[in-house]
Amino acid sequence: MTDTPQRLRSSRERLYEGALVVGALASVMWIVEIVNSLDGQRLDSDGIIARRLSGLPGILSAPFLHEGFTHLIGNTIPFLILGLVIALGGATRVLAVAAITALTSGLAAWALSSSGTDTIGASGVVFGFATYLIARGFFTRSAVQIAVGVLVAVLFGGALLLSVVPQHGISWEDHAGGAVGGVLAAWLLSARGVPRVPENK
């Protein structure tokens, strides 16, 4: 009982640090799009160019590039909402989930999209955030995290399912890869996802 105030301070510090990372990532998206719009959207060509080795670096830049402010706003709102929930676990947790989902969504877009397709946007990461929150309770067996996962599934499940349906102008490959990355992140970052050596043979 005596360490309860310390635990509360620690939780607040983790949330604060995690929220700073979420805010910083979102701010970079907006700064890049402002520069991009002033430059005639020429940065859009720096996305993920499918099936070309020269297009692989786009995996790093694509989440920060958008086709205008409507596209950016559509990604920013769920990114902030879901990101702040993940931020309860701290800055390292946010960065880990963002990195894993950006990598898996980017690789999926690069490998599965039609050759030469240019994919940009943070939607793969957004859907990765959603599936991470939905899946993590299954690995941690935390009642609170399961409840959060159910709520996220109710709020974002329909959009998640529609996002992996092939549609013109929308990268279902990016979305599907991000969703897979979210589950992978939930497994890797949970205690149950780490193999343990038995204490007694």
Query: Tell me: the pLDDT tens digits for 31-78?
Result: 999 999 999 999 999 999 999 999 999 999 999 999 999 999 999 999
Which residues have CB under 8 Å from 177's CB, separation 6+?
A: 104, 105, 106, 107, 108, 109, 112, 124
Residues with pLDDT less than 50, the chain: 1-2, 193-201
Q: What is the pLDDT of residue 191?
A: 64
The boundaries of the domain holding residue 101 are 4-192
pLDDT for 163 equals 74
Which residue stretches of the chain are H helix? 4-38, 58-61, 69-86, 91-112, 123-140, 143-163, 172-188
Query: Is 23 part of a structural domain of the chain?
Result: yes
Residue 78 within a domain: yes
197 lies in some domain = no
pLDDT at residue number 1: 47
pLDDT of residue 169: 76
pTM: 0.90
Domain membership flag for residue 76: yes
CA-based nearest residue to 119, from 166, 165, 187, 56: 56
199 inside domain: no
Q: What is the pLDDT of residue 6?
A: 73
pLDDT of residue 20: 98
Whether residue 200 lies inside any domain: the answer is no
Amino acid 3: pLDDT: 64
The domain that contains 125 carries what CATH number?
Answer: 1.20.1540.10
Q: Name the domain count of the chain.
A: 1
Domain assignment of residue 198, yes or no: no
Residue 201 falls inside a structural domain: no
pLDDT recorded at residue 196: 44
